[in-house]
Amino acid sequence: MLMGQRSGCQEKSKKLELALSETMKAEAKIQNNEEEAEELKAKDQRLASVFGVADLKNGAIGLYNVGQSCCLNSLLQVFFMNIHFTGILRRITVPPCAMQKRRNVPYQMLLLLEKMQCGKQKAVSPIDLACCLSAYRVKLFVQHDAAQLFLNLWNLVKKQMKKPELVEELSNLYTICVQEHLACQKCSLETKRNSNMLTLPLPVLDSNSRALRTLEKCLQYFFHPEELTDHNMCFCEQCGRKTPFLQSMKLVHLPQTLTIHLKRFCFEESAYIHKLSHYLPFPQDLDFNAVLTENQCQADDSEKPPVQDGLSEQQTYCLAHVTSPRRRKSIPGSFPCSGVCCRAKAAWQYELFAVIAHSGSTSCGHYCAYIRSLTECKWYCFNDSEVCQVSWDDVKCTYGHSNLHWGETAYLLIYMKKHPQ
């Protein structure tokens, strides 16, 4: 009888040990699953904080048109595909109450970005952000100008960011600094003034209304010195009267993300807005030092590359940047360019990141965006809710055509500064 009881106790003890072992295994499995889930979640968060919309596992996401919002949609896609901008956007201060959240543009942009990255649908609606913008006179069901809407949207984002360091980063990311130089032609008086701008507004016609045929020609025309005479004369304090002046512009600082505005919409004498659709090619790679003169590219000290140790003052030139063979021979100590040899030159080399194109007329038009993924190096066309991969030849179709006034024409060009090797 006692042995039977003892045997029953041993069997019961083994069952308890087995049950406990299975429970511990189950708990360990649950813990491992939780750790894996947390690790995957952390990985997704790291990815989301670094990459742009088209670089996540869900692919490129479109935006539904919610009341002639094609212009807004195109600009938003350019913002969201810029990993430098989204890196700033993800560090904003979240507004404390619901009312402030509804009226805060950066926060609504962040919510839309999260919706695009976390959803599984091919397109999402930007209606909450559009309603937020309508409180700041950015209306729905209105034909917007992309350059003006870009300025309004950027200013709202900058104004509503609470952290000073983020405001500074946003300014450094987009702001262009130029120096306006005025010289009196009657005396030696000279004045200089620095000013900031968000876009380079390049005319596509010269002073005689002739078409400028390349982007490089537009840049050279914009920075070419202009004589201010007749009714354009300025008052000279030294002369005490209005005199002819020579006005010139110089580049002082170029940002990481450079936006060029091709002024294809012009006013005629009848106040009618006319669209200029002539052929105007733009390069994938743009080097300002090769397009403009040394006097037009006077970078501030923060953008000048360091001078190599052991170089004399005469060795601030290099063979790569001296185009004349006779001039090359006359410079003692000239040598092949190593990338940091030119004292006065900044590393102003850019590659095309996005094109916002306009089709149709000034009164009845449509915008779409061509954007190059920064990690995949592939081009995408964002046409409201439709997104597809395209080739460089497709992007070149936005060069324009003088006989196709309703055709697709590049309006905003967004270049990204090349990283030094």
Told to judge if 224 belongs to the known catalytic residues of this protein, a careful annotator would answer no
- d(C-alpha 327, C-alpha 345), whole Å: 18
Structure tokens at 173: 């990311």
* Structure tokens, 323: 């185009």
Tell which residue, 218, 219, 243, 248, has the closest CA to residue 229.
Answer: 243
Distance between CA atoms of 317 and 266, rounded to whole angstroms? 42
Active-site residue, 366 included: yes
Residue that the structure tokens 């130089």 belong to: 181
3-state helix/strand/coil string of the chain: CHHHHHHHHHHHHHHHHHHHHHHHHHHHHHHHHHHHHHHHHHHHHHHHHHCCHHHCCCCCCEECCCCCCHHHHHHHHHHHHCHHHHHHHCCCCCCCCHHHHHHCHHHHHHHHHHHHHHCCCCEECCHHHHHHHHCCCCCCCCCCCHHHHHHHHHHHHHHHCCCHHHHHHHHHHHCEEEEEEEEECCCCCEEEEEEEECCEEEECECCCCCECCCHHHHHHHHCCCEEECHHHCEEECCCCEEECEEEEEEEEECCCEEEEEEECEEECCCCCEEECCCCCCCCCEEEHHHHCCCCCECCCHHHCCCCCCCCCHHHHCCHHHCCCHHHHHHCCCCCCCCCCCCCCCCCCEEEEEEEEEEEECCCCEEEEEEEECCCCCCEEEEECCEEEEECHHHHHHHHCCCCCCCCCEEEEEEEEECCCC
Task: Choose the catalytic residue: 70, 71, 318, 381.
Answer: 70
Which of the following is catalytic: 253, 366, 368, 381?
A: 366
Residues marked active site are found at 70, 366
